[in-house]
Amino acid sequence: MRICTNGSVSAKASSPACDTRESRRGDAGGCASDRSTPLTWFRDMVPHCLEYARTAKEQGHPIVCIMCEFTPRELIMAAGAVPVCMCGGSAETIPAAERDLPANLCPLIKSTYGYHVLRTNPFLEMADLVVAETTCDGKKKMYELMAQSRPMYVLELPHNPDSIEALGFWEQQIRRFKRELERRFEVCITDDLLRKAIAVMNRERRLRRALAAAMEADGPPLTGRQLADLRSCISGIACDLRQYEQVLQWLGPRRENGLTDRVRVLLTGVPIAHGAERVLDIVEGCGGLVVSMENCTGIKPILDDVDEHAADPLAALAQKYFHIPCAVMSRNDRRVEALRRLVGRYRPQCVIDLVWQACLTYDVESARIRRLAEEEFGLPYLQIETDYSPSDSARIGMRIEALFETARARAGGSTTEFSRRGDNLACGGPSPRQSVYDGGGT
């Protein structure tokens, strides 16, 4: 293991994996993406990420698979490694998972575990480390099984987001994780490297927030599905960031010239892994427009940035990540605060709360979200509990159509009423902890 001193940069960590694809191509002007539009670029997101990860691995950069937004990608990047989201979105791997796991378990967990059993997730197969976290019970126990045959590190997440002691414990977990990455990958994670990684991730968060802000318009220029597709399972890839910038340029003159005849939907609840967008597609296929997706694949993890200039970057990381408003936290008041702001900004006409089957934390929290939507926002609310099987698609479609009938009837066919209501919420609603998001995105 190398001796680590502040300011000394280890050779491995000083070659950020983020630039490997560009450097291999020797294309100073950018990437192969220059030949495609951003939407087609992200349609091929998985092959691009695979090429990126393979190249990085060939060049000696470790691959680290993660499954939760509480895991600070910045630390992994500062260690010269590549953080890859390994969340499974396929129903096809679930039968294999059910050989070990109960059928009555969240499909996201089963799908991910199924890839592990079948060895069909190429990122996981090249992973030097899997980072787990103590969030929900299903994931914790699944990780124990996975750890029998894969190198794994577990971040212990305390669950009271308002406790100073819990934050202190989490900060110690972050410091311990840094030491483990240094030991395992024989690198030094200096404050300088960490700040660079934080700056990259902040840039990505800013760009994604700016893209999300396009949906504030009365006639958004994108569908919710198109916006959801603008993401990558590897964060911080320079080509992806340039693609985000291109989309923003493209959106510039089109911000108010889009879809005005849809029912505006705020989609909250569980994360929607790549490949598991069925409910999102049904919502939009029924005449809805998901103007805001308050979940871990949408705006939730990018609401706040990490302080790039903090004297102690590890403490800054701990502070940001500990306050992600996930339902595993108790109390999870920050989710309510986030929803208030999102309703103010995006003026939805209804709230749809997606819960994966057997996800107890989000399922139980639904009662609070329903009351918030119906009583405080005055919006019709629908909880959809489902899994990755398409067998209930028709039934879900019928329930969404009924919800939209109610939303249209309340709006009298106009979005103006909602715009006014949104303004009131934005101005007169409770004003909790300031978020970077309050500053207007970028």
The SS3 call for residue 423 is helix
Q: Nearest distance from residue 209's CB to ligand SF4, in Å?
A: 17
Taking CB under 6 A as the binding criterion, the range among 53-61, 312-320, 322-330, 414-422 that sits at the site for ligand SF4 is 322-330
Q: Which of 48, 139, 242, 341 binds ligand SF4 (CB under 6 A)?
A: 139
Q: Nearest distance from residue 81's CB to ligand SF4, in Å?
A: 20
Q: Nearest distance from residue 298's CB to ligand SF4, in Å?
A: 10
Q: Nearest distance from residue 108's CB to ligand SF4, in Å?
A: 4
Instruction: Give the number of residues in contact with ligand SF4, rule: CB under 6 A.
Output: 20
Does 362 sit near ligand SF4 (CB under 6 A)? yes
Q: Which of 106, 146, 233, 352 binds ligand SF4 (CB under 6 A)?
A: 106
DSSP H/E element including 294: strand 288-294
* Parallel, antiparallel or unpaired: strands 63-66 and 129-133: parallel
CA dist., res. 307 & res. 436, Å (int): 10
Does 271 sit near ligand SF4 (CB under 6 A)? yes
Cβ–Cβ contacts within 10 Å for residue 270, how many? Answer: 25
| Distance in Å from the first CA to the final CA of the chain | 40
Q: Which of 69, 74, 277, 385 binds ligand SF4 (CB under 6 A)?
A: 69
Does 270 sit near ligand SF4 (CB under 6 A)? yes
Question: With respect to ligand SF4, which residue has the nearer C-beta, 81 or 142?
Answer: 142
DSSP-assigned letter for residue 343: H
Taking CB under 6 A as the binding criterion, the range among 6-14, 33-41, 274-282, 355-363 that sits at the site for ligand SF4 is 355-363
Question: With respect to ligand SF4, which residue has the nearer C-beta, 159 or 254?
Answer: 159
The SS3 call for residue 84 is strand
Does 322 sit near ligand SF4 (CB under 6 A)? no
Taking CB under 6 A as the binding criterion, the range among 34-42, 106-114, 222-230, 257-265 that sits at the site for ligand SF4 is 106-114
CA dist., res. 313 & res. 304, Å (int): 15
Q: Which of 131, 296, 343, 351 binds ligand SF4 (CB under 6 A)?
A: 296
Q: At what angle do helices 164-185 and 313-322 cross, to 10 degrees?
A: 120
Q: What is the dihedral of CA 240, 150, 356, 300, to 10 degrees?
A: -40
Q: Which of 194, 359, 372, 425 binds ligand SF4 (CB under 6 A)?
A: 359
Q: Which of 93, 223, 361, 383 binds ligand SF4 (CB under 6 A)?
A: 361
How far, rounded to the nearest angstrom, does the alpha carbon of residue 2 sit from its chain's CA centroid?
33
Sheet containing strand 381-386, edge to edge, reads: 288-294, 263-269, 350-356, 381-386
Show the binding pattern over residues 230-269: x = contacts ligand SF4 (CB under 6 A), - = does not: ----------------------------------------
Q: Are 76 and 82 in contact (CB under 8 A)?
A: yes
Instruction: Report the alpha-carbon angle 420-422-425, nearest 5.
Output: 115
Residues in region 107-126 near ligand SF4 by CB under 6 A: 108-109
Cβ–Cβ contacts within 10 Å for residue 231, how many? Answer: 19
Q: Nearest distance from residue 73's CB to ligand SF4, in Å?
A: 13
DSSP-assigned letter for residue 434: -
Does 321 sit near ligand SF4 (CB under 6 A)? no
Show the binding pattern over residues 49-68: x = contacts ligand SF4 (CB under 6 A), - = does not: -------------------x
Q: Which of 63, 94, 136, 314 binds ligand SF4 (CB under 6 A)?
A: 136
Show the binding pattern over residues 366-405: x = contacts ligand SF4 (CB under 6 A), - = does not: ----------------------------------------
Q: Are 39 and 240 in contact (CB under 8 A)?
A: no
How far, rounded to the nearest angstrom, does the alpha carbon of residue 277 sit from its chain's CA centroid?
14
Coarse DSSP helix, strand, coil percentages of the chain, rounded to the nearest 5 percent:
50, 10, 35
Encode burial over 43-58: b for 16+ CB neighbours within 10 A, e otherwise.
Answer: eebeebbbebbbbbbe
Does 84 sit near ligand SF4 (CB under 6 A)? no
Does 425 sit near ligand SF4 (CB under 6 A)? no
User: Which parts of this chain interact with ligand SF4 (CB under 6 A)?
Assistant: 68-70, 106, 108-109, 135-136, 138-139, 270-271, 296, 324, 326, 328, 356, 359, 361-362
